Chain A
């Protein structure tokens, strides 16, 4: 019986794969060219890289909610009970040296990515990922211990970036729309939001790895 259900589900999955492939191969061309729309409005977005313009200007609301989703995931982790810290020991003598050499370069790379995001590939997300990776590396090299679940610094950093975003979004409501920047201030607003977001996202991503229950 179990085997029968198994083969039946494999058959159903094969049919689904066939149907999906058939569907994407017979799609008509898209009626709206979003790439053209973005290119036409790039001048008023405050940045010259189209992906950053979409992320923080045209679809800033999505990015805003995404930061909230990350915080909710972290709250979920805190509510479910944090895993215990990994056992220490078994450390490699090379790793702390490597971490000490690599982490300053990673921070430099993160700042470059943040700055580059305005006009070429890069931006807050990539900068945050590199910063979080640096924190994880420090943790693996046992230079940075795990954060206890009541650590105040990480909480302030995570909430700070989100609240900065919220404050700018709320301040722009007086112009008649959430996150609708006046074109002449768009660049400044985006740089402010991105800097706050990089720190907040980096600490949030690192917290998924570093936030551990206190040793009992």
Chain B
């Protein structure tokens, strides 16, 4: 099993993890993080699969290099939009922990902490 295949498999799992985050988390900042994880997974699949026989391949490497720069541009735009959205709607949950379930859990935790 070559490193290329190992990291391609890791990239697949990262992609699915990020996809789950984008779909299931409510907080906008978390979704931006999850989207970045998806992108990193896709990059690993691109380079890892092309190099599964062990020889470095400059073509996918160059593509991923441009991809990383585009990803940071997309992140900057997304963050600006998220902040704008928050300023316009006054909604405060762009940084909160994800979905309703975990929010309930964290509230329970707070309640448990409170008497101490």
Contacts and interface: CB of A to CB of B under 8 A. Distances in A.
Contacts of B58: 34-35, 38, 50-51, 53-54
| Most chain B C-beta atoms within 10 Å of own C-beta, residue among A3, A35, A59 | A35
Given A51-B61, A208-B72, A17 B77 contact: no
B45 to A, nearest CB: 7
Interface stretch (B29-37, B80-88, B108-116): B80-88
Contact of A20 (B15, B60, B63, B77): B15
Contacts of B70: 66, 69-70
Interface in B69-112: 69-70, 72-74, 76-77, 80-81, 83-84, 87, 99-101
A89 interface: no
B9 to A, nearest CB: 6
B28 interface: no
Contact of A35 (B5, B59, B74, B87): B59
Interface of B: 5, 8-9, 12-13, 15-16, 19-20, 23-24, 45, 49-50, 52-53, 55-63, 65-66, 68-70, 72-74, 76-77, 80-81, 83-84, 87, 99-101
Interface of A: 2-3, 6, 9-10, 13-14, 16-17, 20-21, 24-25, 27, 29-30, 34-35, 38, 50-51, 53-55, 58-59, 62-63, 66, 69-70, 73-74, 76-77, 80-83, 125, 201, 204-205, 208-209
Given A29-B53, A62-B66, A204-B73, 7 more contacts: A10-B20, A34-B50, A38-B58, A69-B70, A70-B70, A77-B80, A205-B72
Q: Closest 3 CB pairs between A and B?
A: A208-B76, A50-B58, A73-B73
24 contacts: A6-B24, A9-B23, A10-B20, A13-B16, A17-B13, A24-B9, A24-B12, A29-B53, A34-B57, A34-B60, A35-B57, A35-B59, A54-B58, A54-B61, A58-B59, A62-B66, A69-B70, A74-B73, A76-B77, A76-B80, A83-B84, A125-B69, A205-B72, A208-B73
